[in-house]
């Protein structure tokens, strides 16, 4: 068993992890930059260490400082949350070399899934369905032949990609040269690596992802899917579990494929296998080897605390459940409350003057915000997550409408008004949307 956990993160996820540790009776260490000295995760932790000035590279990404904080406090395990160092294989290696447990997968698994081409190849070998495409990198002189084989439209993607950068669609042969050269130029500028590969472009897919957890010894389970199709610039905005597009057979089939793959891989910890879904088919796009922002909707419908599971497997205690014991109950929706303009999404840091979080049956608010809290301008703009659960999707939507009316955050702009619009929209009510829906909606409904 680990005896003291250092949480190498901030904001709502640091608080989330801290809560799990407290329930398990494990002492916690918060780390923080000078900008976060008053943050809730620092106040609620048993101990805290200031690890540097506001910029992330000097604090939350500063591996030396984090290892030093472990040594000073005697923490023997680190939970990385999401973002920051959560998918940094070197960090996992360094902790290992210091005899500190990384609460996450092995450094090798992080590396495999962190590279788009090896991730796709590995997924395919493990029996996971992938998007038809090139066999690894495509050089400009091979592009036409490869594209003809795949069939237009095709998508050119940076092998080092991330955040949707270095991605270009070629609708036909006429577009191909330009798509290749702009994708390569963007990739070189963003990642210092101009290598690209090619995939069939799917026109109207949904984004559906499967939550998995493994014990690192060959046992693994899936916890069903999340539908994260409502996105803006590839950023998820609203997530649901289960997906309005899948039935039970489809869920259990793709879930089992993912669980079996994780057993073969001997995967340790929580992970998410992301797919595009179109015309009844799943196409692997990537695997995230960490806890995701939207994990609470899975917790709502399964009753399983994913952070407890992460800590258990990191401690060598195995999973607390078998696949047969996992059941899916009702429907859950998460809204990401960002300190941003609800239409332009321009960040709106500042001081929250009034904060009232809603309550009642089936309501969870994960947030470190409070009245008087000053949102620092240095980090991402997520200030909280609203998670609503109901016995059915209809009940969940009715509850969400009530809860959004009750939620008050004054002093800054937030995305709450956008959710108040979406919860009353007919397409959303019908569950009838794909990954482009929100962009179209925003274009048609400007401020």
Active site residues per annotation? 290
Distances (CA, A) of 99 to 155, 215, 324, 377: 43, 19, 35, 35
Between strands 28-33 and 5-7, the pairing is parallel
Cβ closest to ligand ADP, residue 246 vs residue 319: 246
Convert residues 406-445 into a mask of x (bound to ligand ADP by CB under 6 A) and - (unbound): -----------------------------x----------
Q: How many residues bind ligand ADP (CB under 6 A)?
A: 17
Among residues 74, 127, 163, 377, the one that binds ligand ADP under rule CB under 6 A: 163
Confirm or reject binding of residue 236 to ligand ADP (CB under 6 A).
no
Among residues 70, 147, 202, 400, the one that binds ligand ADP under rule CB under 6 A: 202
Cβ closest to ligand ADP, residue 288 vs residue 323: 288
Cβ closest to ligand ADP, residue 118 vs residue 323: 118
CA–CA separation, 135 vs 125, rounded Å?
Answer: 13
Among residues 74, 140, 151, 164, the one that binds ligand ADP under rule CB under 6 A: 164
Cβ closest to ligand ADP, residue 283 vs residue 355: 283
* Nearest CA-CA partner of 370 in 411, 333, 336: 411
CA–CA separation, 250 vs 256, rounded Å?
Answer: 10
Among residues 61, 89, 131, 237, the one that binds ligand ADP under rule CB under 6 A: 131
Helices (H) and strands (E) in the chain, counts: 15, 20
Footprint of ligand ADP on 57-86 (CB under 6 A): none
Residues 6+ apart with CB under 8 A from 189: none
> 10 Å Cβ neighbour count for 140?
12
Cβ closest to ligand ADP, residue 75 vs residue 276: 276
CA–CA separation, 152 vs 203, rounded Å?
Answer: 11
Structural contact between residues 128 and 118, judged by C-beta atoms closer than 8 angstroms: no
By CB under 6 A, name the binding residues for ligand ADP.
Answer: 131, 155, 161-164, 199-202, 205, 207, 234, 276, 285-286, 435
């Amino acid at each position: 068993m680990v005896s003291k956990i250092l949480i190498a993160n901030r904001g709502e996820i640091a608080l989330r992890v801290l809560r799990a540790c407290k329930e398990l009776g494990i002492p916690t260490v918060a780390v923080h930059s000078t900008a976060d000295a008053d943050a809730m995760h620092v106040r609620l932790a048993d101990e805290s260490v200031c690890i540097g000035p506001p910029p992330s590279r000097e604090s939350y990404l500063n591996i030396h400082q984090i290892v030093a904080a472990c040594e000073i406090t005697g923490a023997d395990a680190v939970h990385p949350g999401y973002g920051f160092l959560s998918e940094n294989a070197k960090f996992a290696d360094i902790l290992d070399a210091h005899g500190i447990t990384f609460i996450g997968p092995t450094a090798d698994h992080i590396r495999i899934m962190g590279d788009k081409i090896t991730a796709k190849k590995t997924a395919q070998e493990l029996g996971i369905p992938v998007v038809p495409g090139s066999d690894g990198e495509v050089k400009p002189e091979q592009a036409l032949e490869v594209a003809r084989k795949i069939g237009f439209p095709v998508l050119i993607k940076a092998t080092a990609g991330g955040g949707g950068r270095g991605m270009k669609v070629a609708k036909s042969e006429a577009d191909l040269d330009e798509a290749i050269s702009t994708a390569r130029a963007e990739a070189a500028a963003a990642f210092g690596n101009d290598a690209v590969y090619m995939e069939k472009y799917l026109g109207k897919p949904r984004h559906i992802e499967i939550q998995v957890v493994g014990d690192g010894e060959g046992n693994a389970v899936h916890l069903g899917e999340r539908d994260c199709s409502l996105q803006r610039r590839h950023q998820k905005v609203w997530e649901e579990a289960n997906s309005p597009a899948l039935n039970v057979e489809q869920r259990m089939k793709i879930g089992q494929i993912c669980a079996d793959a994780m057993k073969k891989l001997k995967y340790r910890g929580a992970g998410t296998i992301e797919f595009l879904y179109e015309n009844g088919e799943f196409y692997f796009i990537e695997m995230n080897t960490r806890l995701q922002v939207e994990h609470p909707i899975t917790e709502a419908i399964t009753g399983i605390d994913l952070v407890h599971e992460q800590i258990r497997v990191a401690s060598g205690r195995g999973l607390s459940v078998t696949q047969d014991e996992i059941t899916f109950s009702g429907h859950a929706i998460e809204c990401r409350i960002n300190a941003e303009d609800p239409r332009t999404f321009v960040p709106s840091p500042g001081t929250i003057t009034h904060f009232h979080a809603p309550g009642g049956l089936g309501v969870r608010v994960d947030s470190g915000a409070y009245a008087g809290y000053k949102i620092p301008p240095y980090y991402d703009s997520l200030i909280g997550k609203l998670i609503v659960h109901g016995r059915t999707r209809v009940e969940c939507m009715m509850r969400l409408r009530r809860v959004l009316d009750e939620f008050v955050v004054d002093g800054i702009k937030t995305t709450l008004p956008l959710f108040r619009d979406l919860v009353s929209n007919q397409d959303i009510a019908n569950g009838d949307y794909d990954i482009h829906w929100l962009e179209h909606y925003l274009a048609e409904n400007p401020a």
